[in-house]
Amino acid sequence: MQFTKILILILLLMILIQDLKSRSVYWLMFPILVLLFLILQYQNDHELLAIWQPALINIGFLASQILLVSAYFSIKNKRLINITDQLLGLGDILFLLSISIYLSVLNFLVFYILSLVIVLFSWLTWQLFSQKKGHEIPLAGLQALILIVVLSCDWWVKNLNLTVDTWLLNLITK
């Protein structure tokens, strides 16, 4: 199990490095990430069927977000806009789909929202002080970095168990 966790962290680190370096990530990394998350789930629970309901809810949430953003920009520009052309990278979507397999529904929503806020704040701060200005945010890479920290905390510092919502619900109700 430790080997699988280390492989996941290495793969996330590779996503971070690739996205920072070239603003693109090899698509093959995402199916491998899904496979490693499934292996980890199997090693933890031996019940792979239990992950499909939260995964489908997470994927449905992502799909609705993508459709709403596409509709917004299409209405704004008065023509059909494919947001993966210039607004959102395919790697960003594939990254979020990959982690939707592992994280429970509430953990996914919290990660999604907080990581977007952290990435946006970090990127704007970087742009403020950087000599090299850019338009493209390495979203998947920076979210991978945040996920490395979160997973490391879950696995080795404080057992949060990001595959169930119990710890988060307990935190909210206190």
Query: How does residue 46 score in pLDDT terms, banded at 50, 70 and 90?
Result: low
pLDDT at 48 over 80: no
The CA–CA distances, whole Å, from 50 to 45, 128, 163 equal: 9, 45, 10
pLDDT of residue 173: 81
* Tens-place pLDDT, residues 122-147: 988 888 887 777 777 888 999 999 99
Q: Are 162 and 151 in contact (CB under 8 A)?
A: yes
* Cβ count near 119 (within 10 Å): 19
pLDDT at 171 over 80: no
* Domain layout of the chain by residue ranges: 2-173
The CA–CA distances, whole Å, from 113 to 2, 27, 55, 76 equal: 28, 23, 17, 24
* Tens-place pLDDT, residues 53-107: 899 999 999 999 999 988 988 888 888 878 777 778 888 999 999 999 999 999 9
In this prediction, residues 110-120 reach a mean pLDDT of 95
Instruction: Give me the torsion for CA of 39, 41, 47, 49, rounded to 10°.
Output: -90
